[in-house]
Structure 1
Amino acid sequence: MVDGLQEMIIDEAHSSRYSIHPGSIKMYRDLREVYWWNGVKKGIAEFVVKCPNCQQVKVEHQRPSGLAQNIELPEWK
């Protein structure tokens, strides 16, 4: 019973049209003002990781990795 309620609270906080996929840090800050249970932070993080919309948005904001380049250092005399 409690697990189902926790999942519903997290889902509403995450998917509501007023919050629009806020991410785990913002969700935790918002929810901790009203709700608390053991493992709330971990539960929120696991929920956000499973959200396909959040994962797509996250990829767009990451920098593309490039090839490593050698940097020449000046010689000490």
Structure 2
Amino acid sequence: MEEAHSSRYSIYSIHLGSTKMYRDLREVYWWNSMKKGIAKFVAKCPNCQQVKVVHQRPGGLAQNIELPDWKWEMINTDFITVLPRPYRQHV
């Protein structure tokens, strides 16, 4: 289970949580108490705990922009930071 979860070449190594990992692994593997074992394993994985939605800050409300009377009178820029890296199966 650790190899499937941590290998950078594995399709299961993207830390999606215990339910997703269970659904993916059950297509290929099976053992007694599989779902419970995967849940315990993922609960101990620091990467999985960091990417869980409950551990992320809420984005906040969008701010209304005041419309200018003349074009180019006011220029606004939105910055989007900390985007997740794209998953590449073959490196």
TM-score by length of 1: 0.59
Q: Which residue does the alignment assign to 2:3?
A: 12
1:53 alignment partner, one of 41, 47, 63: 47
Alpha-carbon shift at residue 21 of structure 1 (Å): 1.6
1:30 alignment partner, one of 24, 29, 34: 24
Percent of aligned pairs with the same amino acid: 75
Alpha-carbon shift at residue 52 of structure 1 (Å): 1.1
Query: Structure 2: 5+ residue runs without aligned partners?
Result: 59-91
More helix by share: 1
Equivalent residue letter for 1:24: S
Q: Which residue does the alignment assign to 1:73?
A: none
Q: Structure 1 segments of 4 or more deviating over 6 A? A: none
Tell whether the 8 Å contact from 2:15 to 2:51 is kept in structure 1 after alignment: no
Please give the alpha-carbon distance, in whole angstroms, between the structure 1 residues aligned to 2:22 and 2:43. Answer: 14
Q: Which residue does the alignment assign to 1:40?
A: 34
Higher RCO, 1 or 2 (CA under 8 Å, sep at least 6)?
2
TM-score by length of 2: 0.51
Query: Structure 1: 5+ residue runs without aligned partners?
Result: 1-9, 64-77
Please give the alpha-carbon distance, in whole angstroms, between the structure 1 residues aligned to 2:2 and 2:17. Answer: 12
Larger Rg: 2
